[in-house]
Amino acid sequence: MRTFPSKISLITAILVAGLASAQLFRTKDRMDNLESFDNQKFSYGFFLAGNNFDYKLVLDPRFGISKQQNLVRTKSSYSFGAGLIGKMRLNENFDLRFEPGLQFVEREIYFDTQSNDQFAAGTPANLPFTPRTLTDADKLRNVKSTYVDLPLLIEIHGDRWYNSRPYAAAGVNWMLNLQSNSDAADDNAQGIFRSTTSNFAWSAEIGIQFYFSRFKLTPGFRGTFMINDEMVPDNAETPPYWTPAIVSAKSRALMFVLKFE
């Protein structure tokens, strides 16, 4: 025969289980936040982003590699961005998103290319040049970029579970670099690393949308990968210590995005 304390324990366990179930799962008496929000044809918001940009380099086997060692290296850094959100509902599971923003970026490129002095007499790939001793300032390029990022994304999302739902998105970007120095007459011989102004990229993103009583909060992770080569070659008379060592330089970025709608 069960004792009174054991009955109390059993009843307590049932009550706790029932309460937990009510908290974790939807019930007919429980209302969702912003129930009709996603039925709007258009919605708007803004986002903040923490980003990490780097260059994916393809090196020239003659000027950029020596004894299987890469002579050019990059170092990424963390920065930030911000922008606006415009969303158009396509159907129950798909949205079209346009999220123009600014991305502030800073990277380092290190050129350990003094060994290229051996090509001073000239090769089919470069003119003869007078060797110069590379200083620390010659070897290190601090490349600052400000991208006007214009991504157009297709979003697919799962069914809403109470006040959250997962999503994934992918699309293309046009990225305008306001600090490209592409039209500068000087090049790396004068300490200026030049890059292209107009660029194209593709992006992919995943995250979870959370619904609150007054707004929707979406944390997500986005990867952006440049399609075109961003490097502008040095002038023909410049020694092959810098851009001749690189075949292509394409940005790649990982961003943590926090959206408010």
Per-residue pLDDT of the chain (261 residues; tens, 9 = 90+): 445 445 445 544 444 444 444 444 444 445 577 676 778 899 999 999 999 999 999 999 999 999 889 999 999 989 999 999 999 999 988 999 999 999 999 999 999 999 999 999 888 878 899 999 999 999 999 999 999 999 999 999 988 888 889 999 999 999 999 999 999 999 999 999 999 999 999 999 999 999 888 889 999 999 999 999 999 999 999 999 999 999 999 999 999 999 999
Return the closest-CA partner of residue 85 out of 34, 151, 178: 151
Amino acid at 49: A
The number of residues making up the chain comes to: 261
Amino acid at 124: P
Return the closest-CA partner of residue 48 out of 224, 211, 217: 217
Alpha-carbon gap, residue 90 to 170, rounded angstroms: 15
Residues paired with 35 in a beta bridge: none
Residues paired with 136 in a beta bridge: none
Residue 24 is predicted with a pLDDT of 42
Residue 27 is predicted with a pLDDT of 44
**Contact in structure between 56 and 73 (CB atoms under 8 Å):** no
Residues paired with 44 in a beta bridge: 86
Q: Residue 22: in which H helix or E strand, if any?
A: helix 4-24
Say which residue the tokens 């502008």 belong to: 232
Collapsing DSSP to helix, strand or coil, 24 comes out as: helix
* Domains of the chain, each with CATH number or no CATH: 41-260 (2.40.160.20)
Confidence (pTM): 0.82
Return the closest-CA partner of residue 253 out of 198, 169, 175: 175
Residue 8 is predicted with a pLDDT of 47
Cβ-based neighbour number of residue 156 at 10 Å: 13
Return the closest-CA partner of residue 103 out of 18, 187, 203: 203
Return the structure tokens found at 99: 């999220």
Residue 82 is predicted with a pLDDT of 97
Collapsing DSSP to helix, strand or coil, 7 comes out as: helix
Alpha-carbon gap, residue 107 to 214, rounded angstroms: 39
Residue 23 is predicted with a pLDDT of 42
